[in-house]
Amino acid sequence: MERIPKHIGVIPDGNRRWATKNGLKKEEGYAYGLEPGLRLLQAAKRRGVRELTYYGFTVDNCKRPKEQVSAFSGACSEAVKMIGGEAASLYVVGNTQSERFPKDLLPYTSRAEEKEGDSVRVNFLVNYGWEWDMKNGWASRGIPRVDLVIRWGGMRRLSGFLPIQTVYSDIYVVDDLWPDFREEQLDRALQWYRKQDVTLGG
């Protein structure tokens, strides 16, 4: 039987670089990251993945210029609603106590009951911060261990993505920028993952 990761963490990096490359303003890049998120979810579902966690935006990200903050925050809200519509269960985790947290996402911050069927659980990190997570006694503990992290945009780092859930994760980096998502990138990641052995540190 094929070895498929149960839970994939998604770091959709490179929206701003993509915008610059395509003659747009940096903050215009985020809108182009929505539809890839939906296509990734659909492709992952067809391949038997049971859970996805998207790195929406972080407390750290909010130090950026305000046009960017407003753009990614808006894109993130849209993504949650659009992508979440396809999910069996939708769960948003982040610091809701700050005004950066999009109010329209508050209804998703407790785990919903799962709908019937063989669909995918989807989690979004929204106004998330690893320090916030740790200081609040592992606030993200409702999200299980991540088997495979796929990061777009070429950087080989986790950038604060769920430090506890990723301690044993295999990390696969796609050099292409996130708005250039193609299904074959997922397939290559899954192909690579198949060859890794799970030791959980043993």
Q: Is 155 in the site for its own copies (CB under 8 A)?
A: yes
Q: Count CB-CB contacts under 10 A for residue 89.
A: 17
Q: Is 156 in the site for its own copies (CB under 8 A)?
A: yes
Q: What is the dihedral of CA 125, 10, 181, 176, to 10 degrees?
A: 110
| Closer residue to its own copies (CB): 82 or 144 | 144
| CB 172, min distance to its own copies, A | 7
Q: Is 61 in the site for its own copies (CB under 8 A)?
A: yes
In whole angstroms, how far apart are CA 75 and each of 60, 121, 130, 153?
17, 20, 21, 18
- Integer Cα distance of 16 and 47 in angstroms: 29
| Closer residue to its own copies (CB): 16 or 50 | 16
| Closer residue to its own copies (CB): 60 or 184 | 60
- Integer Cα distance of 44 and 102 in angstroms: 27
Task: Give the one residue of 17, 86, 163, 188 binding its own copies; rule: CB under 8 A.
Answer: 163
Q: Is 110 in the site for its own copies (CB under 8 A)?
A: no
Task: Give the one residue of 31, 166, 177, 186 binding its own copies; rule: CB under 8 A.
Answer: 166
Task: Give the one residue of 54, 94, 170, 181 binding its own copies; rule: CB under 8 A.
Answer: 170
- Integer Cα distance of 68 and 74 in angstroms: 10
Q: Is 202 in the site for its own copies (CB under 8 A)?
A: yes
Q: Is residue 45 classed as helix, strand or coil in its secondary structure?
A: helix
Q: Is 172 in the site for its own copies (CB under 8 A)?
A: yes
- Integer Cα distance of 166 and 171 in angstroms: 9
Contact residues for its own copies, defined by CB under 8 A:
58, 60-61, 63-64, 130, 134, 138, 155-160, 163-164, 166-172, 196, 199-202
